Amino acid sequence: MPKAYYITTPIYYVNSVPHIGTSLTTVVADICARYRKMRGEDVWFLTGTDENGTRILEAAQGAGEPPQAFVDRISGEFVKAFDALNVGYDVFYRTTSEQHVKAAQALFDLLRKNGHIYEGKYEGWYDVSSETFYKEADLIDGKSPDGNEVRWVSEDNWFFRLSAFEKPLLEHIRKNPGFLLPESRKNEVVAFIGQGLRDMCVTRTNPGWGIPVPGDDSRVIYVWFEALMNYLTATGWPEPGWEKAWPADVHWMGKEIFTRFHATLWPAMLMGAGLPLPKTVIAHGWFVFGDQKMSKSRGNVIAPTELAEEMRSKTGCLPEAAIDAVRYSLAALLPYEGDSNFNRDEVDKRYNADLANDLGNALNRSLSMAHKFVGGTIPAAEPEPEAVSAVCEAKSSYESLMQEFRIDAACQKAIDVARFLNKYVDSRAPWAMAKSGDPALGSVIRSMLVCLRAAEGMVRPFLPWTADAIARQLGLSPLADWSQVGDPESVPPGTRLGDPQPIFPRIEAEKPQDGGKRETVQTQPMKGEATQAGPPSAGLISIDEFSKVQLRVARILEAEPVEGADKLLKLQVKIGGDTRQLVAGIRQDYDPAELIGRQIVVVANLQPAVVRGVESQGMLLAAVDDGGSAILLQPEKEVPEGAKVR
């Protein structure tokens, strides 16, 4: 029986509803699962909820609910949140399930029979908030290392002989370099084990909630001990067939539960039971606000569905696109080694730069030009080697990064294909080729569509709905086979293309509070420059007057007709770090698709005006020929956006 590729998230504690921090791990695991499925692998993806323990009982009592009703309700919130984020898990596992209770008791009994669990008396400090035992030396100012209140506990309990596994754990880590990731956290684990492991109390007096110790209903299995078992018990162990999934190929989690539990206790438990260890255990960092970890107790959490709704209200995008944007922000901002600041400004920047500007721009302009220049049908021409090579290089890097679980870097490689496509369009200038009748136009358009199709495949694990939308606009079935990414045959000639439809409208900057006025920077003549010699002549202006006009180089990001106006185009232009909206009367002289990516010269400090109901935040410069047609002014060569024109 061939083994499945088994991916897990931690099972989430149901003391409160899910947030962006818990969604991060789940979305990242989902991205891995979707990628593996595209490669044709049999994938089994598990997530779920941890529903036992004193903390859960107290939370239920605080909510005035029976514990089972409480965990049913909160677990349901996790299901809703993950479903809303388009997480394609194969099983949502709960530790109150009959399957888990029976299998956890069986594993406890096996460890006891193997001599690794023994009876003893526990006296020490217990942090109910984290369900963790601490030594006196671990406390800081009388509290746990997390700053939580602790209780003194004195009970007859069962202990796991963790101290016996110091050398076997270190030896396994040494022989398996990919077992613990990233490297910095592996080093922390080695140092932790090297300080010496002590036997661990693994039961508590039964408070009326939890999994009873087999043969002793007066005590329940310590929640951290039985919760770790879920990865194994969910496979059906010890019943036949569990080997199809076990050992897990990758356990994904946050760093706070890595060193003591998943990288030390859990593999020791498996060793004690004579079972294979997971192949990779990987822990990412935290999302933080300033220097504080995002957590429910601090009240600084963001709900993923709330963030998606905000994105939708700011952009007007479809709900599915907003969800994809949240998924993308989680992946792109993934704190792999250290921690990263996750806030709405960072999310908006990623949305505008990567999704609206790079991917959205590449999609809209490529399809627009294909309709304009080759009749909206994929041409029967070989793509240019430059484009095929760029896609293959990005794909190869993407594969290596996914193998290393560098999800954040892999998503950038996917967007790199769109970035290349935008630059390729600028350099090959299909509009100029069409005007001159260049026979290579068909190859260039096919190259553009091959890049777009490859981008669809590479963003699919991150942006599943968006990838389907791109495929529809290409007139093709979704690219679900990884081997076809970058293959020109995935873009068959003769296919009728769909109409371009923007997926990610830009997030516009909020208008200034002074009614729209922008600061005017006045410049003085440089030393040695001419100054006005006398009164101005009729029709002339002084150098001081001219210096008030700020001329800047801008790049056109988007162009579309103004509804109900035959001569007007609405442009989104980038001027340095600023994005502006301009209205220009050039519709009869320029097709919108020809303008995207072009650099122009604009008056950057013009008072905003409303033209046909659309605000214009500047003015572009154009010459007028003898026939009255506009001819845009543009730099002779590429210069940085925002460069001054003197």
Are 484 and 541 in the same domain?
no
Q: How far apart are CA 646 and CA 636, in angstroms?
A: 14
Instruction: State the total domains in the chain.
Output: 3
The three-state secondary structure class of 629 is coil
pLDDT mean over 200-216 = 94
Is residue 51 a part of any domain in this protein?
Answer: yes
pTM for the whole structure: 0.81
Is residue 331 a part of any domain in this protein?
Answer: no
Is residue 222 a part of any domain in this protein?
Answer: yes
Q: How far apart are CA 632 and CA 646, in angstroms?
A: 17
Task: Name the pLDDT band for 535 (thresholds 50, 70, 90).
Answer: low
Are 483 and 531 in the same domain?
no
pLDDT in the model for residue 443? 98
Pair 160, 269: CB distance under 8 Å? yes
Residue at 152: amino acid letter? W
Q: How far apart are CA 388 and CA 410, in angstroms?
A: 19
CATH number at residue 196: 3.40.50.620
Task: Name the pLDDT band for 295 (thresholds 50, 70, 90).
Answer: low
Are 462 and 591 in the same domain?
no
Kindly list the distances between the CA atom of residue 589 and the CA atoms of 239, 416, 553, 576, 630, in Å, as whole numbers in the listed order.
74, 32, 21, 27, 6
pLDDT tens column, 222-263: 999 999 999 999 999 999 999 999 999 999 999 999 999 999
pLDDT in the model for residue 134? 79
Return mean pLDDT, the chain: 89
Q: Is the pLDDT of residue 39 over 90?
A: yes
Is residue 534 a part of any domain in this protein?
Answer: yes
Is residue 332 a part of any domain in this protein?
Answer: no
Q: Is the pLDDT of residue 524 over 60?
A: no
Task: Name the pLDDT band for 509 (thresholds 50, 70, 90).
Answer: low
Q: Count other C-beta atoms under 10 Å from residue 227's C-beta.
A: 26
Separate counts of helices (H) and strands (E) for the chain: 20, 25
CA-nearest of 368, 362, 369 to 499 is: 368
User: Cβ contacts of residue 362 below 8 Å, gap of 6+?
Assistant: 418, 419, 421, 422, 425, 451, 452, 455
Preceding peptide of 247 cis, ω within 30°: yes
The more confidently predicted of residues 517 and 76 is 76
Pair 398, 391: CB distance under 8 Å? no
pLDDT in the model for residue 20? 84
Residue at 282: amino acid letter? I
Are 348 and 458 in the same domain?
yes
CATH number at residue 433: 1.10.730.10
pLDDT in the model for residue 577? 65
Dig out the tokens for 344 from the structure.
């709405």
Cα angle 621, 626, 627 (rounded to 5 degrees) comes to 90
Q: How far apart are CA 550 and CA 261, in angstroms?
A: 61
Query: What's the domain range around 627?
Result: 516-646
pLDDT tens column, 361-398: 999 999 999 998 999 999 999 999 999 999 999 999 99
Q: How far apart are CA 91 and CA 9, in angstroms?
A: 11
pLDDT mean over 312-335 = 95
* Domain limit, last residue, from 250, 284, 318: 284
Q: What is the dihedral of CA 473, 478, 482, 488, to 10 degrees?
A: -50
Are 190 and 141 in the same domain?
yes
Q: Is the pLDDT of residue 300 over 50?
A: yes
